[in-house]
Structure 1
Amino acid sequence: MKIRKIVTLVEEIHVEGGKDVSPPARVAVVAAVIENPWAGQGFVQDLGPGIDENASDLGALLAPQVLAALGSPAEAYGKAAIVGLDGEIEHGSALIHTLKFGDHFRKAASATTLLPAVEKRGPSGVAFDIPLKHITDATIRSHHQSLEVRIADAPHAGELVVALAAAAQGRPQQRLASLSTEQ
């Protein structure tokens, strides 16, 4: 795995809807900008070797970093794979939609739900929204949220941006009734 850089973003919301948020709501993202392991090879039928060589190492690298950046236990989480213009969306999906990648985050966060994800192809600086859901119950509405991310110089055409995001709480000032009230 060839890493060009790692980007860490932390957002702290102090006011939402004109009301103070106490304690401030924290969300963190750690993104690795890596060389696409399938770049320049044309159509690759068997993505397995590239998955085996990269997915677990990438998950092991990013999971502890995003939780450290959050600075609190995670209550919600998500992931992203953004593919440069010379790659296929399937290249990003191959790395993040495997237990070899996601189980590092699930174990580190004591989570049981599937990680919600976004995959997309785009040029350097493309904006993407990472969806977040509760770490143990995907039906908890307060934790359904998203975080917009943009890395000015990534991904280059032959790169991938692979990111993990974590939130220490649900949406600030959330007040929707629980899903059980509609069933």
Structure 2
Amino acid sequence: MNPIRRIVSSCEELTTELGAPVNTPVRRGAVALAVRNPWARRGIVPDLQPEVEELAPLLAREIADRLTAMLGGAESIAAFGKAALVGLDGEAEHGDALIHTPYFGNVLRELLDGTSIIAFSEERAAAGTTVTVPVWHKTDAATRSHYAAAQIRVPDGPRPDELLITAAAATGPRSNARIGDRRTDPVVTLQTLEDLEGTR
């Protein structure tokens, strides 16, 4: 039996900001899978591993295939992230079990040609809740220009006995990113701030 009930994909491209063309148009996409929760209504299941090993790689492949098709291949993707939304008959750990294990994360990372830890979010909520998926650079998580987020919503998911497993990716940095980076930041401490206050 196919555990995936519904698939929703979204893709956006920002081309102007405040009426001016952006310096680099960037496409950002997300894919959400409404999946039967194998642990729903079973109480506290002590060992989640058997279902994780079976389900997580399937979901990672499905999402990666759709993201790469949407955004022009793994080589076009610069940033990525993942998220889980747990229906109300499940526990938060059910979503965490699927997205925070190598059976999902390592598969998604390899298929998208990434090396960094994947940015993430998770929560437990009712159907129709909008999921915000944070993204950052797929090979250098400290690259601040790529810190962003994508949103996606499944109108009837997750049902109480479902999980919404999601990943997002972007083809480049935020539009007109210009706040510097960790490599160029000055050293800022509480003393630095106190010294600045003293000069005002």
TM-score when normalising by structure 2? 0.87
Q: Does 1:79 align with 2:82?
A: yes
User: Is 1:122 the equivalent of 2:134?
Assistant: no
Q: Which runs of 5+ in 1 are unaligned?
A: none
Q: Could you say which residue in structure 1 is the equivalent of 2:62?
A: 61
What is the deviation of 1:13?
0.8
Alpha-carbon offset, residue 104 of structure 1: 2.0
Given that 2:80 and 2:119 are in contact with CA atoms closer than 8 Å, whether structure 1 keeps it comes out as yes
Shift of the alpha carbon at 1:103?
Answer: 1.7
Contact 1:10 1:26 in 2 (8 A): yes
Measured against aligned partners, the alpha-carbon deviations of 1:86-113 in whole angstroms (never above 9, x if no partner) come to 1111000000001111122211221100
- Aligned partners of 1:174, 1:17: CA distance in 2, in Å? 14
- Kindly report the root-mean-square deviation, in angstroms, between the aligned alpha carbons of the 2 structures: 1.3
2:110 matched residue in structure 1: 107
Residues 1:142 and 2:145 aligned together: yes
Distance 2:137 2:20 in 1: 24
Number of paired residues?
183
For structure 2, the 5+ residue unaligned runs are: 188-200
The equivalent residue for 1:36 is 37
Partner residue of 1:49? 50
Post-superposition CA distance 1:36-82 (Å, at most 9, x none): 01012111111111111211111122112111112251100000110
Larger radius of gyration: 2
The one of 145, 163, 173 aligned to 2:176: 173
Contact 2:29 2:150 survives alignment (8 Å): no
2:155 aligned with 1:152:
yes
The 8 Å contact of residues 17 and 173 in structure 1, kept in 2 or not, is answered as: no
